[in-house]
Amino acid sequence: MVSVNFFRFFLGFILLVSFANAQTVKYTLADTLKGSITDQRSWWDVLYYDLHVAFNYEDSSINGYNKITYKVLEKYCNKCNLKEPLNIMQVDLLEPLVLDSICYNTKRCFWHGSKGMYWVHVPDPQSINSIQAITIYYHGKPHVAKNAPWDGGVIWARDANKNPWISIACQGMAGSVWYPCKDHQSDEPDSSSLHITTAKGQVCVSNGRLRSKKTNADGSITYNWTVVNPINNYNIIPYIGKYVNFNDTFNGKGGILDLDFWVLEGNLEKAKIQFAQVKPMLRCFENWFGKYPFYEDGYKLVQSPFLGMEHQSGIAYGNNFINGYMGRDLSGTGWGMKWDFIIIHESGHEWFGNNITVKDVADNWVHEGFTAYSENLFTESLYGKQAGAEYVIGTRKEVQNDEPIISDYNVNRDGSGDMYYKAANMLHSIRTIVNNDSLWKAFLQKLNKDFWHQTVTTKQVEDMMISFLNKDLQKIFDQYLRTTQIPVFAYHIKGGKLNYRWKNCVKDFNMPLKIVDGNKEIWLQPTEKWQQINYKKTDVEVDPNFYIGKEKLKSLKQ
């Protein structure tokens, strides 16, 4: 997803609110129920969503049902002290949508709840490892996005020719803003099918592949799109409008990848020029990260009525067919104007966010940090390593250090927007420490291979990096992900001696650091304690690839 911090005119307000929240945040029961794996969520594993929804532009309403196929798991019940499956399910559907009825086989289910969370009483015993299904019927006028994609909800728009244009952006608010589901990032359906009904003359595009198109008796049209790979709830999205398309293929590491591009009428020629960036992007990312994760579902860019979002195999594109971030270089270096931000950034999420998904939104830096880092890898692939480094270093001006990147767990709360470029610069610093691009590339590929189509935690990613790279990185993670402090290299030069240490850092911070003396590179191993080396210069030049502060002290007592 693109970061709200990029809008400068929102910056002062955002910082004020973020600071206040960081000081006074109090979580409610609803936060806990939304963000945690409750007993009523833990005993069943979603296998398949069969979603049927009709969109009515005239009154901004939808109606339909979702048949959820699930597997019954063995789970210890905290409240009842038993090791057995439960029979009460927590399902989510945000108001003002109305839950009409729920069926289990041919039986009606009793349910209760409100405020978007419902507890469904399954009438029959649930045998461990059995495959079961419930069907949830609903209708209503879903929450409307006021500032998509940062404010979630349905977008009821019109294109330049006044034709209806509908889509959804719901990261954070998540999928239950428009359909009933188990709305937690830790549980993705292994596959899904979308049956979307639109008015006559409208086209529906969605994730995966189009399986069928049916014209109904009233002239409406039902499109069936099917996804055969695991997909997160917020990624399941329809786009409805006056779409036209063109196709291509990419010969990649997984064979022939189908490329489909859907844009509004009148934009086809512009899209053919701008979307030529897709193949170099795929070539770059497959080189660094391994094969594209969703060959079976293909790759799509779909023009959207908002800026962009990483909707798996159907990426939302709204960057007006221009380079940069809406025509602006986020790095301020000029390199960001050489490519289309939305194509590159949102496609990077196919590996980080869609292939590898974090279980808790508090760990969303894994999605955004690695994807923001992919921007400088793409710059590097086009213009060389120095250009890529200049790009990511330039993005440091976007970092606010307002609150930690990793937020509180189990309450559905994101951390700071610094999960983008502060996390990307942390990764860039670690790459500099590794000092071996072949090993670094192997790490990125192994990360995607080991966690292929999985949900993970920060700890799993940290442990894998430490083990594979054979580097003591834990204090680096703690510093950049869990505090707002940027470590400061403090030093004092006198009598041909350089004294140095870390300050403004977590306890036992031990990140190696490279300083430059002309053409000579010197690796230091600073700690919080003073160390000394012989040094003839009057000042220190730190390798700019490290995201740190620097302070020259007048005495060792400072």
515 and 368 share one domain: no
pLDDT grade, residue 22 (50/70/90)? very low
313 pLDDT higher than 80: yes
Question: Would you say residue 337 lies in a domain?
Answer: no
pLDDT grade, residue 12 (50/70/90)? very low
333 pLDDT higher than 60: yes
**Total of domains in the chain:** 3
* β pairing state of 153-158 and 76-77: unpaired
> Which residues constitute the domain of residue 397?
356-482
What are the tens digits of pLDDT across the range 53-80? 999 999 999 999 999 999 999 765 555 5
Looking at residue 115, its pLDDT comes to: 82
138 pLDDT higher than 60: yes
Looking at residue 172, its pLDDT comes to: 77
516 and 452 share one domain: no
Q: Of 22-31, 104-113, 412-421, give the lowest mean pLDDT range.
A: 22-31
pLDDT grade, residue 1 (50/70/90)? low
Domain-terminating residue out of 257, 273, 289: 273
Question: Would you say residue 342 lies in a domain?
Answer: no
Question: Would you say residue 323 lies in a domain?
Answer: no
Domain-terminating residue out of 234, 258, 273: 273
Looking at residue 427, its pLDDT comes to: 98
Question: Would you say residue 317 lies in a domain?
Answer: no
d(CA 556, CA 366): 39
pLDDT grade, residue 17 (50/70/90)? very low
525 and 512 Cβ atoms separated by less than 8 Å: yes
445-454 mean pLDDT = 98
247: exposed, middle or buried (C-beta count within 10 Å: 0-12, 13-18, 19+)?
A: exposed
Residue 4 CA from chain centroid, whole number: 14
160 pLDDT higher than 60: yes
We report the CATH number of the domain holding residue 134 as 2.60.40.1730
313-334 mean pLDDT = 98
What are the tens digits of pLDDT across the range 479-526? 999 999 999 999 999 999 999 999 999 999 999 999 998 789 999 999
What are the tens digits of pLDDT across the range 527-550? 999 999 999 999 999 999 999 999
Question: Would you say residue 267 lies in a domain?
Answer: yes
We report the CATH number of the domain holding residue 463 as 1.10.390.10
Question: Would you say residue 420 lies in a domain?
Answer: yes
Q: Which long-range contacts (CB under 8 A, 24 or more apart) does 217-226 make?
A: 220/54, 221/197, 222/195, 222/196, 222/197, 222/198, 223/194, 223/195, 223/196, 223/197, 223/198, 224/193, 224/194, 224/195, 225/193, 225/194, 225/196, 226/191, 226/192, 226/193, 226/194
Structural Rg of the chain based on CA atoms: 25
pLDDT grade, residue 13 (50/70/90)? very low
Q: Of 157-166, 168-177, 298-307, give the lowest mean pLDDT range.
A: 168-177
Question: Would you say residue 69 lies in a domain?
Answer: yes
Task: Fill in the DSSP letter of residue 96.
Answer: T
188 and 117 share one domain: yes
Domain-terminating residue out of 430, 465, 482: 482
* Mean pLDDT of all residues belonging to the chain: 93
287-300 mean pLDDT = 98
Looking at residue 149, its pLDDT comes to: 87
